[in-house]
Amino acid sequence: MALYLPRMGSSAPSGLCGAGGIPRASIPVAKANSMTSDYGKPNILLIFVDSARADHLSCYGYARPTSPNIDRVASEGCLFETCITAAPFSPASYASIISNQYPHQHGVNGDTVRAWPQEMVRLPQKLRSQGYFTFCVSNNSFVSRAMNGHLGFDEFVDPRTPWFLRVQNRIMSQCRKLGGAALADRLESRRLLAKDKGNSRDAVRTSQSILARNHRPFFGMVILMDPHALYDPSRLDFARDRRGARRFLRTINGRQMWARVMAGRTSLTREYTRLALDIYDAELLHADRCLGELVDFLDRTHQLEHTIVAVTSDHGEAFGEHGVWGHGFSLHECLTRVPLVLRHPGFWPSGSRFPGLVQLHDLHEMCLSVAESGDPRPDQYPHCLTQAANPDWSARHVTFSEMPVQSKTIRFMRELNPAFEPGVWSYHSWAVRSADWRYIQHDNGTQELYDLRADPGEACSLHSENRDVVATYSDMLARHRMSGATKAYEADESQERLILDRLRALGYVE
């Protein structure tokens, strides 16, 4: 395991505030770091562990040691306790970070998944104009050349190519047609063909080779996919029943399992649910190890102290909460609350925690404000994430998320089970999240309201009893929906094919 050794000395956090004595970031503003000013603009490295939910990382209080390296980054930087994504699925979430827009503004949704619009003004473009070398190493096929994800980057590495996906799916479907379903499942579960997630070690090695060229300043995005289904059968670190876990993996990988379960075609026993969590946690640990190697490399090459390192995710993952398996479909906490840890000795004192609300795509503005400011003093950076250590600054009062309709997946679920009734999943959904409440509004008029302090699992909707709260958030949402809405972009036929391939590979459609 690569636990990197810190180079920097650090100041201890001080002061408590907020409910429950959470160590708050009412810590002294970090002193301007002389290395930052000598060096010029800081580098920025955003590391995404796709599908990582915050509450499954040790530094967020999870009982299992799933994240020793992320914990270490957090202990040397700042952990944001409540970071909310704009959308609970990859294409829209990454597009929000890149464009600093919500899904109804950038138009990348689940149904007309298409290449990101050429005209989208992107973060790497803006950073390039500020003198940054920009690169992206993506294992997520929604952040790929095929989706125009490469635009704006000086260097873009996408290990998967659309032809590979198409060949993969053709082989699998031929195999099934010829009666080799069991073989197809086996191949997929062995990941001989299910390479759709890429390989995190390769991604880290590729990133290291780019970083070794010592571009200054650089902006990098690295996307690791381990916790995303399908799962690797060799990762059983937390499985108490290894034989059962392997058997389960043969079942779960390659049979459109999540869609089958959500459609009511298959039910999972409690034992299988437990095994799914064991395996997911082991995948998190694997991503954490790879991420540790990358941070370790920055340290060994003396770049770490000049680099803002962000560790985060695009969305969470559900294991049966609110009837959802995998991701998409729901705007509840398990899918919208993502980890966010930021490290740079000049900006965030070691071991600080920020309890306020932030939005995942606040990263966009943070990167811009850091790049645009020639002043290395942290208090000269206006943006929230860099102000986390400032006791006079408070974060967002609310965040917004939205979930467009996934009609292709719903159609597939209906094919699996003609009696399947998708309910609110057939409607675009919107959510407002404050410190205390989550309000969800579906476009069929259905509403949900949860008191997150009393009911963190969002088990009991209180919308009928709290009409004034509903009215407040409903008004807020109405204004939000009007803000910068763009017409949905037309789906491009080749992109339609690509998205279908992708959904097939991930088991959401057949």
| Binding piece for Zn ion, criterion CB under 5 A, among 45-53, 127-135, 239-247, 268-276 | 45-53
- Please list the alpha-helical segments (H only) found in 26-102: 34-39, 68-75, 90-99
**Shortest distance (Å) from residue 149 CB to Zn ion:** 13
**Shortest distance (Å) from residue 215 CB to Zn ion:** 27
Query: Cβ distance 420 to 329 under 8 Å?
Result: no
Whole-angstrom Cα distance, residue 477 to residue 500? 32
Report CA-CA distances (Å) from 34 to 112, 303, 423, 457: 49, 15, 57, 45
**Which residue, 90 or 399, is less far from Zn ion as judged by CB?**
90
**Shortest distance (Å) from residue 142 CB to Zn ion:** 7
**Which are the contacts of 176, defined by CB distance < 8 A and separation ≥ 6?**
184
**Which residue, 314 or 458, is less far from Zn ion as judged by CB?**
314
**Which residue, 23 or 316, is less far from Zn ion as judged by CB?**
316
| Binding piece for Zn ion, criterion CB under 5 A, among 84-92, 342-350, 390-398, 485-493 | 84-92
**Shortest distance (Å) from residue 475 CB to Zn ion:** 31
Query: Cβ distance 225 to 200 under 8 Å?
Result: yes
**Which residue, 90 or 390, is less far from Zn ion as judged by CB?**
90
For Zn ion, which residue of 50, 283, 293, 402 counts as binding (CB under 5 A)? 50
Residue at shortest CB range from Zn ion: 90
Q: Give the count of residues interacting with Zn ion (CB under 5 A).
A: 3
**Which residue, 133 or 142, is less far from Zn ion as judged by CB?**
142
For Zn ion, which residue of 185, 281, 293, 314 counts as binding (CB under 5 A)? 314
**Shortest distance (Å) from residue 50 CB to Zn ion:** 4
Report CA-CA distances (Å) from 381 to 21, 88, 124: 28, 29, 19
**Shortest distance (Å) from residue 312 CB to Zn ion:** 12
For Zn ion, which residue of 33, 90, 141, 495 counts as binding (CB under 5 A)? 90
Q: Is 138 exposed, middle or buried (0-12, 13-18, 19+ CB in 10 A)?
A: buried
Closest CA to 348 of 45, 77, 23: 77
Residues 285-304 touching Zn ion, rule: CB under 5 A, are none
**Which residue, 224 or 308, is less far from Zn ion as judged by CB?**
224
| Binding piece for Zn ion, criterion CB under 5 A, among 60-68, 82-90, 297-305, 364-372 | 82-90
Report CA-CA distances (Å) from 85 to 147, 265, 323, 333, 502: 20, 30, 20, 10, 22
**Which residue, 90 or 406, is less far from Zn ion as judged by CB?**
90
- Please list the alpha-helical segments (H only) found in 340-380: 362-372
**Which residue, 140 or 350, is less far from Zn ion as judged by CB?**
140
| Binding piece for Zn ion, criterion CB under 5 A, among 17-25, 311-319, 348-356, 484-492 | 311-319
Query: φ and ψ at 440, to 5 degrees?
Result: -120, 135
Taking 3-state DSSP, the helix, strand and coil percentages for the chain, each rounded to the nearest 5, stand at 40, 15, 45
List of residues contacting Zn ion (CB under 5 A): 50, 90, 314
